[in-house]
A and B are shown apart, each in its own frame.
Chain A
Amino acid sequence: MLLLDLLLMLLIAYGFGFLYYGLYRNLSARVHGRFGPSLAQSFSDSIKLFVKEESTTFGWMFYLGPVIMASGAVLNVLFIPFLNQGESLQGLSSYGNLIVVLYLMVLGPLGNALGVGSSGNPFGVMGVTRGLTRLLALELPFYLAAIGVMIDAGSADFGIIMQAQSTQSNMFAHPLLFAAAFISFLGFMGKSPFDVVGAPQEVYSGPATEFSGKFLALLMSQSAMFSFAKLLLMVNLFWGGADHLGELVAKTFVLFVAATFIGSVYARFSTVQSVEFLIRIPTLLGIVGLALL
């Protein structure tokens, strides 16, 4: 039963991850005054890449990188409960808590760094360095907000955190913590102005530069699933989770559209600017929010 549940969670995360990515391309096309590709475009892309031939070899560590990233994303999806009640779609959440999830979130970037490093491509390495530098700054406000939420609920367990919000969601109870977490969430999603990692015109595709075919497809799939996991995390921590699947879809959708629109109107920060910004504004918001608890 548990296995079936886990499989269902992965399928939902995969499907919605890609659907949201298609939506992102579509919405940003509309912002640019274009029509953009169809919603299912990302599915076509990933299937095409999965059946494409592989032509690069850089040793086994290069191939292990995407695999580590994908396992990080899969574990993240499995450890975050999809619903705030009932038995189904809870995954492994009874075996782990928010701290485990926060720990798993850095597994992907580290795996990526190992894989890309062994390819020796300068653009890949530049992308990874940018990513890890940004990650340091991103984590600070997000962890502050997560600590605040944990103190408020008196527990790191997702069930208890969501239950504590049954009268009022954390977004309204602790707006400063929400603001801090939301800004760093934008960065985690790789949206502008924090999209320094794979910045075209600067470092080509960044970390993905040397990946082709199946491994690129794996990278795309894991990033789609991982972004769904991040949406879930925000919904659970600040919007009280979801009672049923419909509510989950609605809440993640709203969050996703907000992130997309904010991302489409801002120009990219440089790496240093984004670190400075993240350390100043959201971190300050987080500290003040913690003090007001």
Chain B
Amino acid sequence: MDEGFIPYQQSLEDEEQSIKSTQSVIEQAIAWFRAHSMFVLAYGTGCGAIEMPPTFTSRYDIERLGVVGVATPRQADILIVSGYCSPKTLKRVIRSYEQMSEPKYIIGLGSCTINGGMYWDSYNTIKKLDDFLPVDMYVNGCMPRPEALIEGFVKLQEKIRANSSEAGYIQYRTRYAHYRANQERLFGTQVQPRYEENFAGMNL
């Protein structure tokens, strides 16, 4: 494989294509419906949240893509974490994510979720959201415009249709020890119940 960003990106896309062709017709249909009906729980953690209302209302009208906001994590498919998270907020974000039913995805909105952004040296925010929760799609920028968020949704749609086993919610189950260790390192003794306990006695 050639070195560099573009060949690397290409190799990722080729992989998605090959996964798609191994799906049965019914799996493809279900993936299509999933990709075209996304219920969003928008968690306004940072200043990037201000770009979400225009995305959802008349000016940019993301409902065209089948995206609607819902008021409770129970009904949501997608969690938008819009910017920096203090540990206190992160606890709530994790709790909300764990209450969502699978399949579920996370969009990290803004540079702060990627590497800390302009809060890179802050004592009171996390630097990399992916250490604590599996992020499926990043939208970079500070702050990202609604167009960028829409682009993020379109890319996420492609990812959902590819139905890959790399999806975040599967990662969160299979690599829970990793995420949990990071969470415990941050929160110390004040941690929430383990994710598996939510499913105790359920046949998944």
Chain A residues with a Cβ under 8 A of chain B: 25, 29, 32-38, 41, 44-45, 47-48, 51-57, 200, 204-205, 208-213, 216
Contacts and interface: CB of A to CB of B under 8 A. Distances in A.
A55 to B, nearest CB: 4
A117 to B, nearest CB: 17
B186 interface: no
A203 B166 CA distance: 36
Q: Is the interface of A mostly helix, strand, loop or mixed?
A: loop
Residues of B in contact with A, size category: 20 to 34
A36 B57 CA distance: 10
B74 A56 contact: yes
A209 B73 CA distance: 9
Interface string B168-199: 00000000000000000000000000000011
Interface string B60-71: 010110100011
A56 B64 CA distance: 30
B58 A52 contact: no
Contacts of B64: 34-37
Q: Main secondary structure on chain B at its contact with chain A?
A: loop
A51 B77 CA distance: 12
Contacts of A47: 30, 33, 37
16 contacts: A32-B57, A37-B63, A37-B66, A41-B36, A48-B37, A53-B103, A55-B102, A55-B199, A56-B74, A204-B71, A204-B72, A205-B70, A209-B71, A210-B74, A212-B75, A216-B74
Contact of B63 (A36, A209, A211, A212): A36
A212 B39 CA distance: 11
Given A35-B61, A36-B61, 7 more contacts: A29-B63, A34-B58, A48-B33, A48-B34, A48-B77, A205-B75, A209-B71
Contacts of A56: 74, 101
Given A37-B66, A212-B75, A29 B61 contact: yes
B45 interface: no
Contacts of A200: 71
A208 B204 CA distance: 24
Nearest to A201: B71
Nearest to B98: A55
Given A48-B33, A54-B101, A55-B99, A211 B71 contact: no
Interface of B: 30, 33-34, 36-37, 39, 57-58, 61, 63-64, 66, 70-72, 74-75, 77, 99-103, 198-199, 202, 204
Nearest to B67: A37
Contacts of A55: 74, 99-102, 198-199
Contact of A213 (B33, B72, B101): B101
B101 A53 contact: yes
A48 B35 CA distance: 9
A209 B102 contact: no
Contacts of B72: 204-205, 209-210
Nearest to B102: A53
B101 A211 contact: no
Contacts of B63: 25, 29, 34, 36-37
Which of A25, A37, A54, A205 has the most CB atoms of chain B within a 10 A radius of its CB?
A37
Nearest to A40: B36
Contacts of B33: 44, 47-48, 51
B60 to A, nearest CB: 9
Contacts of A205: 70-72, 75
Contacts of B37: 41, 44-45, 47-48
A4 to B, nearest CB: 27
B101 A44 contact: no
A52 B66 contact: no
Contact of A51 (B30, B58, B100): B30
B56 to A, nearest CB: 10
Shortest 8 CB-CB contacts between residues of A and residues of B: A204-B71, A212-B74, A55-B101, A34-B61, A44-B37, A48-B37, A45-B37, A53-B102
A212 to B, nearest CB: 4
A52 B61 contact: no
Nearest to B198: A55
A48 B71 CA distance: 18
B38 to A, nearest CB: 9
